């Protein structure tokens, strides 16, 4: 009998994101560059006679418990697929800010699927389909690293690893108002705005050169403009960050987390300036794979 299975659930940023159109199934056709970060939740599943889900850790506040949690749904899907009962406790040590555009919920779900596949190896060939059922960002986390995602994000093309970069994340200030169904609201707003030229190919070309800076990513996220219209405080947060660190920042996914990326070893100085000015920051790096 397995006693406990555990694994990391890393965050991601999108280095670039193009929205190519709306599909007849309601999803958007995307072209994006996913990059895995070292910042990670830690997920474990433990056999239990009292099945359920617990969330702890510095970012646990507001993360749903029970069936609303994507990690629990992943366990149920996996157990159903394996013809077993979901008689487990899922424990999440939450380190990734929730609802920040960092896909922590999707990553927790993928981590549960990967752990479940150790218990029930017959699930392995079905993992990509199960992941996509849970959400568009979930399939990326089955392999992570640096990848181009097309379709809803599930048509993944692994890319050669980017050399190590520092990444400084700027989550929204405490007390900022959450937006109901944030990602859907940002996509809906996008439809009202002018389209812009695609950016993924040119960012990819720069990434192939081996080093990236935030300047290379300015304007490369099609959702940024729409997110600024949905979150009224987002521009003010950006202006404050940029004045303090004297560099642009860019949005990950539908936001509202801004980020800076630069050479390995340079993130601490950026974070120091920001902390001195009272901004909340998380310093991390690109994952080593
Ligand atoms: P999305 O763009 O899909 O909304 P995101 O990257 O902004 O995602 P997540 O941290 O994945 O942010 O959380 C999205 C929503 O999913 C949150 O509003 C939260 O209520 C819900 N959620 C469900 N399960 C989890 C989980 N394990 N961790 C964090 N949030 C979760």
Q: What is the pLDDT of residue 175?
A: 79
Q: How far is CA 201 from CA 31, 183, 229, 261, in A?
A: 9, 24, 26, 18
Cβ neighbours for 199, distance < 8 A, ≥ 6 positions apart: 16, 17, 18, 219, 220, 221, 222
Q: Identify whether 182 is a catalytic site residue.
A: no
Q: What is the pLDDT of residue 1?
A: 65
Q: What does residue 72 show for φ and ψ, rounded to 5 degrees?
A: -70, -40
Could you read off the pLDDT of 151-209 as tens digits, one per residue? Answer: 999 999 999 999 999 999 999 988 787 777 889 999 999 988 888 889 999 999 999 99
* Complex confidence, ipTM: 0.95
For a substitution probing ligand 1, which of 28, 98, 131 has the most ligand atoms within 8 Å of its CB?
A: 98
Spell out, as residue ranges, where the chain has pLDDT lower than 70. Answer: 1, 289
165-285, which class in CATH? alpha beta
Q: What is the pLDDT of residue 244?
A: 97
Atom of ligand 1 nearest to the CA of 71: 27
Delimit the domains of the chain by residue range. 5-158, 165-285
CATH of the structural domain 5-158, one choice from 1.10.150.120, 3.40.190.10, 3.30.420.10, 3.30.230.10: 3.30.230.10
């Amino acid at each position: 009998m397995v006693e406990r299975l555990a694994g990391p659930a890393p965050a991601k940023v999108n280095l670039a994101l193009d929205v190519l159109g709306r599909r007849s199934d309601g999803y958007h056709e995307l072209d994006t560059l996913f990059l895995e970060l070292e910042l990670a939740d830690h997920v474990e599943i433990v056999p239990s006679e009292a099945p359920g889900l617990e969330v702890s850790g510095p970012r646990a506040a507001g993360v749903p418990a029970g069936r609303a949690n994507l990690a629990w749904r992943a366990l149920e899907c996996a157990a159903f697929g394996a013809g077993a009962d979901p008689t487990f406790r899922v424990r999440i040590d939450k380190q990734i800010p929730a609802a920040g555009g960092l896909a922590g919920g999707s990553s927790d779900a993928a981590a549960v699927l990967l752990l479940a596949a150790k218990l029930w190896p017959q699930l392995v060939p079905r993992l990509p389909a199960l992941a996509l059922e849970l959400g568009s960002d979930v399939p990326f986390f089955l392999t992570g690293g640096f990848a181009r995602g097309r379709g809803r994000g599930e048509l993944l093309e692994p890319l050669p690893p980017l050399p190590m970069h520092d990444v400084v994340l700027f989550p929204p200030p405490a007390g900022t108002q959450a937006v109901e169904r944030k990602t859907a609201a940002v996509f809906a707003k996008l439809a009202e705005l002018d389209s812009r030229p695609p950016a993924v190919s040119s960012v990819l070309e720069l990434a192939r050169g081996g080093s990236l800076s935030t300047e290379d990513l300015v304007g490369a996220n099609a959702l940024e403009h729409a997110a600024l219209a949905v979150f009224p405080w987002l521009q003010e947060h950006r202006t404050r960050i940029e004045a303090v660190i004297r560099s642009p920042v860019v949005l990950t996914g539908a936001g509202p987390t801004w980020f800076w990326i630069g050479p390995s070893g340079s993130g601490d100085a950026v974070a120091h300036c920001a902390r001195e000015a009272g901004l909340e920051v998380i310093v991390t790096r690109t994952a080593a794979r």
